[in-house]
Structure 1
Amino acid sequence: MAPPSQKFHLFGYPIAHSAAPALHNHCFNLLGSENTYTIWSTSKVTQEMLAVIHDRDCGGAAVTMPIKTAIIPFLDELSPESRITNACNTIVKVPTADGGVKLVGQNTDILGVRNALLSALKEQHPNPPIPSDASATYPPPTASSGPLAGLVIGGGATTRSAAHALTLLGLAPIFLINRDVEEVRAVMDAMPHLSSAGGLIHLRDPADVETYLVGENKARILMAVGCIPSFAPQTAAERMVYTTASAVLTVPYVVPTLPSPVLPYPTRRLFLEMPYKPLQTTMYKVAAAHGWHVIDGIEAMIEQGLAQQRMWLRGVASVAVGSDSSITGASLEQLARQDTRSRLTAQNPVSAAPHEQGPV
Structure 2
Amino acid sequence: MTPTYLDDETDRLHVPHRFAVLGSPIAHSRSPLLHRTAYSVLGLPWQYEAVEVDSDALAGFVERLTPPWRGLSLTMPLKETIIPLLDSVDAVATTAGGVNTVLVTFDDGRRRLEGFNTDVYGIRECLVRGGIPAVKSAMVVGGGATARSTVVALAQLGAEHVDIVLRSPDKAASVVESARAAGLSRTVVALHDRDAVAALEPDLTVSTLPGGAGVSARFTGTPALRAPLLDVAYHPWPSELGVLWGAAGSTVIPGLTMLVHQAVAQLRIFVHGDPLVKIDGEDRMTAALLEAVAS
Is residue 226 from structure 1 mapped to residue 207 from structure 2 by the alignment?
Answer: yes
Does the aligned pair in 2 maintain the 1:91–1:104 contact within 8 Å? Answer: yes
Return the letter of the residue paired with 2:290. Answer: R
Q: Provide the rounded CA distance (Å) in 1 between the counterparts of 2:60 and 2:177.
A: 34
Which residue number in structure 1 is paired with residue 117 of structure 2? 107
Which residue number in structure 2 is paired with residue 165 of structure 1? 153
| Structure ranking higher on relative contact order (CA contacts 8 Å, 6+ apart) | 1
Give the paired residue count: 281
Which residue number in structure 1 is paired with residue 224 of structure 2? 249
Alignment of 1:43-192 (within 5 A): 43-44=54-55, 45-46=57-58, 48-53=60-65, 55-93=66-104, 102-121=112-131, 148-192=136-180
CA apart distance, 1:82:
1.4
SS at match of 1:201: strand
Which residue number in structure 1 is paired with residue 39 of structure 2? 28
Change (3 A) 1:329 1:230: closer
Return the letter of the residue paired with 1:13. Answer: S
Give per-residue Cα distances to partners, 1:274-321, cap 9 Å, x unaligned: 1111111111111112222101111111111111111111112x4x33
Is residue 338 from structure 1 mapped to residue 275 from structure 2 by the alignment?
Answer: no
Alignment of 1:261-276 (within 5 A): 269-276=227-234
Is residue 277 from structure 1 mapped to residue 287 from structure 2 by the alignment?
Answer: no
What is the TM-score with the length of structure 2 in the denominator? 0.85
CA apart distance, 1:332:
2.1
Does the aligned pair in 1 maintain the 2:139–2:204 contact within 8 Å? Answer: yes
Does the aligned pair in 2 maintain the 1:95–1:315 contact within 8 Å? Answer: no
Does the aligned pair in 2 maintain the 1:62–1:90 contact within 8 Å? Answer: yes
Which residue number in structure 1 is paired with residue 48 of structure 2? 37
Does the aligned pair in 2 maintain the 1:203–1:244 contact within 8 Å? Answer: no
Does the aligned pair in 1 maintain the 2:138–2:163 contact within 8 Å? Answer: yes
Return the letter of the residue paired with 1:247. Answer: T
Q: Provide the rounded CA distance (Å) in 2 between the counterparts of 1:175 and 1:245.
A: 18
Return the letter of the residue paired with 1:228. Answer: L
Return the letter of the residue paired with 2:224. Answer: L
Q: Provide the rounded CA distance (Å) in 2 between the counterparts of 1:274 and 1:91.
A: 22
Ranges in structure 1 where 5+ consecutive residues have no aligned partner: 123-135, 139-147, 214-220, 252-268, 343-360
Which residue number in structure 1 is paired with residue 270 of structure 2? 312
Is residue 295 from structure 1 mapped to residue 215 from structure 2 by the alignment?
Answer: no
Return the letter of the residue paired with 1:301. Answer: L
SS at match of 2:26: coil
Q: Provide the rounded CA distance (Å) in 2 between the counterparts of 1:278 and 1:209.
A: 25
Return the letter of the residue paired with 1:108. Answer: T
Alignment of 1:317-332 (within 5 A): 318=275, 320-321=276-277, 324=278, 326-332=279-285
Task: Name which of 6, 19, 24 aligns with 1:13.
Answer: 24
Return the letter of the residue paired with 1:103. Answer: L
Return the letter of the residue paired with 1:272. Answer: L
Q: Provide the rounded CA distance (Å) in 1 between the counterparts of 2:156 and 2:105.
A: 24
CA apart distance, 1:65:
1.5
CA apart distance, 1:338:
0.3
CA apart distance, 1:246:
4.4
CA apart distance, 1:152:
0.8
Ranges in structure 2 where 5+ consecutive residues have no aligned partner: 1-8
SS at match of 1:68: helix
| More off after superposition, 70-79 vs 326-335 | 326-335
Return the letter of the residue paired with 2:116. Answer: Q
Does the aligned pair in 2 maintain the 1:227–1:273 contact within 8 Å? Answer: yes
CA apart distance, 1:120:
0.7
SS at match of 1:121: coil
Q: CA RMSD in A?
A: 2.6
Of all paired residues, the percent bearing the same amino acid is 25
SS at match of 1:40: strand
Q: Provide the rounded CA distance (Å) in 2 between the counterparts of 1:15 and 1:64.
A: 8
| More off after superposition, 279-288 vs 221-230 | 221-230
Does the aligned pair in 2 maintain the 1:28–1:34 contact within 8 Å? Answer: yes
Q: More strand by proportion, 1 or 2?
A: 2
